[in-house]
Amino acid sequence: PTSVPTPPAPIPVPSAEEEVISKPMSNAESILDKSAKPSLSWEELKAIEGGVLLLESEDIESLQSELQQATEDLLSGGINFDDDPAGRRLSKELAAASEGFTCKGARMAIIATSWAQFEKRSSLALKTMAGRDKWEFLKSQGVMITDGAPVPEAAKVAHMYPGQGSQYVGMTHDLSLRYSSVAEVWNRADKTMVDILDGETLSSFVLRSDLSDEEKKEAERKLKQTEYTQPAMLTADLAIDSVLSDHGRLPDMVAGHSLGEYAALMVSGILGMDGALRAAAARGTEMGSVVIEDTGLMASITADYNIIKDVLSTIDGYVIAANKNSPRMTVIAGDSPSVKEAIRRFEGLDITAVILPTSHAFHSTIVEPAAEPLRKFLDGLEINLPEIPITSNVDGTFYPMNRDENRTPKEQILDKLAPQMSSPVEWTKQIETMYKAGARVFVEVGPKRALTMFANQILEDKPNLSVMTNHPKFGGVASIMNALATMAIAGRPYRWPRSDSPVLTEGFRAGPLEAWESAVVESKATKEEKLETESQVVSEEIIEAAVVEEVAVDTADWLATILSAASGYPAKFCYGQVNLKTGLGMNDEAIESVLKSISKQVEVESSRDPASFNTAFEIIEWIKGVPDSFSMPQKSTESKVVESQSRVAEKTVQVAPKDHRKSNPYVVTGVSLGLPGDRKVFDEDNFEKLVRGETCIQEVSDDYKQKILDKKIVRLIKGRDGQA
């Protein structure tokens, strides 16, 4: 039941303090783009800040002088973002100080994610950089120094994409808050996978950093399940690749390890992103669906490959080198008895052997039953010849790039791709193939650093540069900055996006909420304005308003006016379980001031500790009453609408002409809230109950429970259209 008052009713317009929430402080240097809308707090932004200082000079001595001057200039430039939400952003200042870097002579890079860290690392460098024997130590501290020749211009860059086993909960989350492309990659992945995962999204449990211990355990458990792991890892690889692309770093050739080959297929142009994700999901599903008596075992062996090959040749059963990762590390796979026997023999030679927690012996003939269904699935995808060279796991050579007159591009590609799941991974040969083709810079594009280590081992006697881009130990932002810095001083400089570039997320460009919310305090106004509605004609000079009465208010209303004045938010947002800090943006000092003011005006519950209060509802329970003299204007109730109509001519409100008043494009026309319970769904005071934190939940009757049980429902799936 709903009624609409017929007289011209006043529509609440955001007061001046609400409007200025969208206006930045005039002196806030932390706001990189004043046209952007803020969404991140100061603490959230500090967690994703960071940049690189690049310097060069003729020799190390003059480079040290350059660093001394640059440090003085940077640290004396005014209030910084570490100390004030309106302060100077490190990412912007380091980029500006690095302009003109050409990678000549002696050069250095300092990676820092905070001003304090920059000051510490710069000080350390100034003290020790004169000694070449300290450079390796400085590198471990985020300071890179060299005066050697850069990588030749003709040298090519290879991107390597890791596969299953490198995943972790939270991978690329910080990057998604800073780079628009990362968020977009995950959004696209969610759109593709939501149907495949029965309505669930990958980002809902991967892009998280706020999980409780129990929630994190559950997310980690889920991420170990093949049907989730494979598309999640593929998405993370592609997300990190997008960041490198944002900075102008593109590959000359690509390769992916096991599942990672699907990321390489997408980057090379063989598959589109949707096809790569669906293929990865199908690969995981087919892998997990293999039902045989012995699903086999896999084990990691750390030893010279020739020794491993000799030991395996003495085993009677089926066991092979499934992942030929490097000359020093191999993963074996086969039937369970044979793998166990191999492990026993390796241990007898004092060789480390560790059984891997996999559901099947992948990259062996044990999972061959899944190969044919996977090929049929792949055959239904759009498959093209690659636009850039890509090596294959199956034989370590490049996929064909030129069309065979007698075969379709799809047939040419599937010859190498279809058997990949049940064939050994020839990773060592892949790296050697790319090296022969001119690759000298090998960038691991994805979580952790397994492939970086393998590349170093494979090419240890040859000149090369192997770089990782993401590791949970360092964080996504610090890791990618480290990678960019490493390549820059080696002769592969990067492009830094402008401060207002859409490459950066709107939240990152807008600066912290505190830099905008501070303006609320400075620009408060109390004038209330009214907007005309489309359903009525309103005079340019005079607007008739429904009668407003003075009525006594309860504790919640009184508190709401106080919290509104302290926070700058409208009183209607200051009820119930709203959190004083995260919901209203109040700091400890503001909350303490409000509580002191309340205790002076009214009687409070002395047995309760106000220092523990987090919500408006807790304060209400603390207060015993409100001042007798307090009242606030309330709109007339439905029962008084008719009376209001008869008096409306006598009580009109003079309002400034429409052209002379502010307007706001956002108008709240309704609120939708769920109301559990079957008998009081339409009670008139339900909205007030919910806003004040009360619950309308009631227990389902035993009869109704039995009705549901009698339906024998095993699984109920809610579709995207809302229908179950």
Give strand ranges (E) for 476-563.
542-544, 548-552
In DSSP notation, 510-532 reads H--HHHHHHHHHHT------B--
Give strand ranges (E) for 592-713.
631-635, 652-654
Instruction: Provide CB contacts within 8 A for 245, sequence distance 6+.
Output: 181
Q: Give per-residue burial for 188-206: e unless 16+ CB within 10 Å, then b.
A: ebbebbeeebeeebbbebb
- Residue 248's CB: how many other CB atoms inside 10 A? 13
Task: Let me know if 159 is a catalytic residue.
Answer: no
pLDDT of residue 661: 39
pLDDT of residue 551: 40
Fold adopted by 167-290+366-421+433-474: Malonyl-Coenzyme A Acyl Carrier Protein; domain 2 (3.40.366)
Task: Let me know if 471 is a catalytic residue.
Answer: no
pTM of the model: 0.70
- Over the chain (724 residues), the average pLDDT of each successive run of 10 is 38 43 70 94 97 98 98 95 96 97 97 98 97 95 97 97 93 98 96 89 92 91 87 96 97 97 97 90 74 90 96 96 97 97 96 89 91 88 96 98 93 95 97 98 97 97 97 96 98 94 97 74 40 40 38 70 83 76 83 87 81 84 70 41 38 40 53 58 66 65 72 61 58
pLDDT of residue 704: 73
Alpha-carbon dihedral sign for residues 220, 224, 226, 232: positive
Q: Do domains 42-150+498-515 and 297-358 have the same CATH topology?
A: yes
Instruction: Provide CB contacts within 8 A for 556, sequence distance 6+.
Output: 575, 576, 616, 620, 692
Locate tokens 């492990």: which residue? 343
Report the largest interatomic distance among the alpha carbons of the chain, rounded to a whole angstrom: 105
Domain 550-635 has CATH 1.10.3470: no
Count the alpha carbons within 13 Å of 29 in the hemisphere toward its beta carbon.
Answer: 15
How far is 190 from 185, CA to CA, in rounded Å?
A: 9
Parallel, antiparallel or unpaired: strands 439-444 and 465-468: parallel
3-state secondary structure of 326: strand
In CATH, the number for domain 42-150+498-515 is: 3.30.70
3-state secondary structure of 664: coil
Residues 466, 472, 474, 480, Cα dihedral to 10° = 50
Give domain limits for the chain: 42-150+498-515, 167-290+366-421+433-474, 297-358, 550-635, 672-724
Degrees (nearest 5) of the Cα angle 85, 86, 90?
Answer: 80
pLDDT of residue 674: 58
Catalytic: which of 258, 268, 338, 466?
Answer: 258
pLDDT of residue 568: 79
CA distances to 183, 700, 708, 717, 723 from 712, rounded to whole Å, are: 41, 18, 7, 14, 19
Domain 297-358 is in which class?
alpha beta
Catalytic: which of 173, 257, 360, 363?
Answer: 363
Instruction: Provide CB contacts within 8 A for 329, sequence distance 6+.
Output: 300, 301, 302, 454, 457
